[in-house]
Amino acid sequence: MNYDNELTYDPRTKQLIKDKIYAHLYEPTKAQFKKRLKVIVQQNSTLHQNAQVAFRYNGEIYFDHEHKPPFPQPINQLHHSLHSLMDEYLEDQEKLNTEELPYVLNYITQVLNSSDHLPDYFKLFPSSVHTVIQELIDNCVCRADSITPDKAEDIKRKNTVPIELMKQRMVLNLLI
């Protein structure tokens, strides 16, 4: 990776970086959640002896994302034998949405607001997302570096939790 690139800042890159890092970290996880839900939908239909692609649980409708509403009525209720599996799915989703995503997205925003120069982000983001930044540099007309190594270390030291969460997410994605 080339850290000495002189880049001029393009204001559209911050949202692009945020979107790409989010996708890099969480698209595998979203795909895994969809697979888990699809399995529950299929098991539920088997237990109800029909081919429905949706079910109702705790007042909400859940469905296989390969199919879109409207669904045939009446919609199956979640079979009682699948409640614990569904509760585990919902708990994992809630944990991701409340205990990880807010920290990670806040840190990404903080980093992006700390500098207008793409190479500075190498100093602040874990190496597991450097490929995303490098791809943007390789395809962008911007090159510059303005955060001092001391400032980068200070920001990283104050944000060890979200940085560790980002690293853990990448390790978990390898297991998916």
Residue recorded with tokens 């390789």: 138
Instruction: Say yes or no to pLDDT of 5 above 50.
Output: no
Give the per-residue pLDDT at 3. 44
| CA Rg value for the chain | 21
- Span 27-64, pLDDT tens digits: 999 999 999 999 999 999 999 999 999 999 999 999 99
User: If you average pLDDT over every residue of the chain, what do you get?
Assistant: 87
* Residue spans of alpha helices (H) in 55-144: 83-95, 101-114, 120-124, 130-138
Give the per-residue pLDDT at 7. 43
Give the per-residue pLDDT at 2. 45
Sheet of strand 60-63: strand arrangement: 60-63, 54-57, 76-77
Q: What confidence category does residue 143 fall into, taking pLDDT thresholds of 50, 70 and 90?
A: low
Entry pTM: 0.74
For residues 13 and 118, the answer to whether their CB atoms sit within 8 Å is yes
Q: What confidence category does residue 117 fall into, taking pLDDT thresholds of 50, 70 and 90?
A: confident
pLDDT more than 90, % of the chain: 57
CB neighbourhood size of 83 (10 A): 12
pLDDT more than 70, % of the chain: 90
Helix (H/G/I), strand (E/B), else coil: 65? coil
Helices (H) and strands (E) in the chain, counts: 7, 3
